[in-house]
A and B are shown apart, each in its own frame.
Chain A
Amino acid sequence: MSHHKLEVRSLHFSYPDGHEAVKDMSFTIHHGESVGIIGTNGAGKSTLLMLLMGVLFPDAGEVLVGDVHVTKKTLPMIRQRLGMVFQDPDDQLFMTTVYDDVAFGPRNYKLDEKEVESRVAKALELVGISHLKDRAPFKLSGGEKRSAAIASVLSMEPDVLIMDEPTAALDPKSRRRVISLLKSFEHTKIITSHDLDMVFETCKRIIVIKDGKIAADGTTEEILCNAELLDSCGLELPLSLQNCPLCGTSKG
């Protein structure tokens, strides 16, 4: 299934104010992989996601989805394949009901209303919020909003799911629900987060970014257990791997 491949080749990007956010990044993500992209605030994670989605265009280098370059011309096709869930669900839920919001994408691709309906029903079912379909998005709780935002992307049936901080600002139970949801997806997943425990559970591969460059790329065990590497990149071990806060015994 080579067409689900996502490839980044020596990507460079600087903002108009001269800040170099992404410097020479290259990696390939294959079909079915789950990749966590971690790094400190301002490391370039969000910029990288924007480059993948074609919201920003690189100064040099290229992004390939399948064998297609991300350019202005190919954007509609690319965006149908890559679904991105924003960090703040309020940015993503702008219609008056959850149903309309989830239907927004499919309707833009001019699907017929029956197909739209079945896709919306499927997406809502998948994230378990079918009962909320007639509610106004702004009246939902944080966890429900997050689920609705994920459904609004799933309804487009993307091959690759890209998520920016999917567990940010969620209570423990909602966070748990989102994690199990993420684990249940068979999509190719790209997740950026500071919630390293969540990344540990949901991703098999980790890319660490530091100052716009890739500092490390490897399996989750390899990277998230390497305290030295994480420390040098401004991060620390996932809480679940740290010493017990009560007795101080090491888990390792």
Chain B
Amino acid sequence: MSKVINSLYNMRLLDDLARKETSIHKLHPLVKLLTTLIYLIVVVSFGRYEIGSLLPFVFYPVIIFALAELPVAPILKRILIVGPFIIGIGILNPLFDHHTMVLGGIVISRGWITFLSIFIKCGLTVTASILLIATTGMDRLSAALRMLKVPKIFVLQLLLTYRYISVLIEEVARMQRAYSLRAPGEKGIRFGVWGSFAGQLILRTFGRAERVHQSMSLRGFTGEYNTGDITKVSFKDFAYLTAWSLFFIIMRIYNIPILIGSLFTGVIR
């Protein structure tokens, strides 16, 4: 059970990181959101077999890691959480796609190439998203989403889910503790009580949601989430966005690793 509670404390790591004050953290949240979006779109837009051209995109997370002074290990751990899902999605590719291709003199199945490309793409996109949260924080991020005219109901849902997930986990932990104390020798929760367990949890959630809403409306909440002052987009922010967008687009159009490679081989010849 302590595991559940531990994960609760670890969960807020991103929030703690988001309170740092590096040059990246100080950028306008909207700019960071847009940069990340462009990055995601460009990375996803590559074809199934283009692994080589994906490589320069590793630069972006590496540079953010360095400039924002983020600890690599704990963030990598979070990225690894999605590992099993990626494998689940891609693992059948080598079985279905039996065509082979030659890569550096080695013959490999194209299925493995597509699998690898899925793996790299997922890795990069998930990393970029986590970095966005770790350098911006949920509150400022949702302010940026509001600036993009995302309907407030979605933004609010995102924020409150994020905040109350911990309360919900505590509730689950309490219920599970109460269960296990009266069900000695059982591992987990018996299948037969899952229904009432889930039902109980949802009722508690409703009750909680109602009280939270009351406390919000008593403090003047009318549906708009005000997260305080956010400065206007400055020239620096704009330059940041432009520079990265240019970088991504150039990397999308030209296959830089091949260009560099041919440059070298050209010299050798």
Interface residues of A (CB under 8 A from B): 50, 53, 55, 76, 79-80, 82-84, 86, 88, 90-92, 94-96, 100, 103-105, 107-110, 113, 116, 134, 136, 138-139, 152-153, 156
Closest residue of B by beta carbon distance from A90: B167
> Which residues of the other chain, A, contact B224 by a CB distance below 8 angstroms?
108
A95→B219 contact, CB < 8 A: no
Most A CB atoms within 10 A — which of B160, B208, B226?
B226
> Which residues of the other chain, B, contact A50 by a CB distance below 8 angstroms?
214
CB within 8 Å of A: which B191-212 residues: 208, 211-212
* CB of A238, distance to nearest CB on chain B (Å): 29
A134 and B139 CA atoms in complex are apart in Å by 14
Candidates A110, A116, A156; contact of B219 at CB < 8 Å: A156
Closest residue of B by beta carbon distance from A109: B220
- Residue B238, interface by CB 8 Å: no
A138→B167 contact, CB < 8 A: yes
> Which residues of the other chain, B, contact A91 by a CB distance below 8 angstroms?
208, 211-212, 214-215
A55→B228 contact, CB < 8 A: no
20 extra A-B contacts, CB within 8 A, seeds A55-B214, A92-B215, A107-B226: A53-B218, A55-B218, A79-B218, A80-B220, A83-B218, A86-B211, A94-B160, A94-B212, A95-B163, A96-B163, A100-B228, A103-B228, A136-B12, A136-B15, A138-B166, A138-B167, A139-B9, A139-B12, A153-B219, A156-B219
Interface residues of B (CB under 8 A from A): 8-9, 12, 15, 19, 137-139, 160, 163-164, 166-167, 208, 211-212, 214-222, 224, 226-229
Candidates B19, B220, B222; contact of A105 at CB < 8 Å: B220
Closest residue of A by beta carbon distance from B219: A105
A28 and B166 CA atoms in complex are apart in Å by 41
A96→B139 contact, CB < 8 A: yes
* CB of A35, distance to nearest CB on chain B (Å): 19
Q: List 11 A-B contacts (CB under 8 A).
A: A50-B214, A79-B217, A84-B215, A86-B215, A95-B163, A96-B137, A100-B139, A104-B219, A104-B221, A108-B222, A113-B228
> Which residues of the other chain, B, contact A113 by a CB distance below 8 angstroms?
228-229
A interface, by DSSP: helix, strand, loop or mixed? Answer: helix
B interface, by DSSP: helix, strand, loop or mixed? Answer: helix
A44 and B230 CA atoms in complex are apart in Å by 44
> Which residues of the other chain, B, contact A138 by a CB distance below 8 angstroms?
8, 12, 166-167
A94→B163 contact, CB < 8 A: yes
* CB of B108, distance to nearest CB on chain A (Å): 47
A109 and B220 CA atoms in complex are apart in Å by 7
A90 and B12 CA atoms in complex are apart in Å by 16
Closest residue of A by beta carbon distance from B211: A91
> Which residues of the other chain, B, contact A84 by a CB distance below 8 angstroms?
215, 218
* CB of A208, distance to nearest CB on chain B (Å): 25
Candidates B137, B160, B226; contact of A108 at CB < 8 Å: B226
B219→A79 contact, CB < 8 A: yes
> Which residues of the other chain, A, contact B160 by a CB distance below 8 angstroms?
94
B19→A134 contact, CB < 8 A: yes
A103 and B19 CA atoms in complex are apart in Å by 17
> Which residues of the other chain, B, contact A139 by a CB distance below 8 angstroms?
9, 12
